[in-house]
Amino acid sequence: MELAKQFTAFLENKPGRMSQICMALGREKVNIRGLTVMDSKEHSVLRFVTDDLAKTKSVLASLGTPFQETDVVVVELDNNPGSLARVCEKLAREHINIDYAYCSAGPRNGRTVGIFKVSNISRAQQALTNGGNLPSRQRKKPGRLPTFAR
């Protein structure tokens, strides 16, 4: 588990725009660790995490692409049934909401990456690195899972 910066780039909804960004990142030897794209009538929203923050900022700026940075949690997962569910369960038990998430693809029975935008990044970091054992002063009283997690 690690903390990372996610880039959110706002693109014109036209062919080749995403290709332009991916090609420019590739020329700079920047690896995209995971991404998701959503569309609307006016523009597309490209969210992604790379392995080089400074180069990514430089590429986006040189292309004139508006972007924002957001803190996210990156979790390396086994690419097997139930791996993602276990991460979601740990967060739910600590009453941490997942605002959105996306995963990279990896080889079957290999490793993959899950990227999570959560309601409380520091508690999520503790929950995922300590096996869900938060310090007692921060731990919620034991009880039922929140309604959304049942």
pLDDT tens by residue, 132-143? 544 433 444 555
Kindly state the tokens that stand for 28.
């700079």
Kindly state the tokens that stand for 86.
């276990």
Which residue shows structure tokens 């991916």?
A: 22
**CATH code 3.30.70.260 region(s) in the chain:** 72-149
pTM, entire model:
0.81
Kindly state the tokens that stand for 102.
């996306």
Considering the segment(s) 2-69 as one domain, its CATH architecture is: 2-Layer Sandwich (3.30)
Report the CATH superfamily, name and number, of domain 72-149. Answer: ACT domain (3.30.70.260)
> 116: which strand partners?
73, 101
**CATH code 3.30.2130.10 region(s) in the chain:** 2-69
Helix (H) or strand (E) holding 73: strand 67-78
| pLDDT digits 0-9 by tens, 40-79 | 878 899 999 999 999 999 999 999 999 999 999 999 998 8
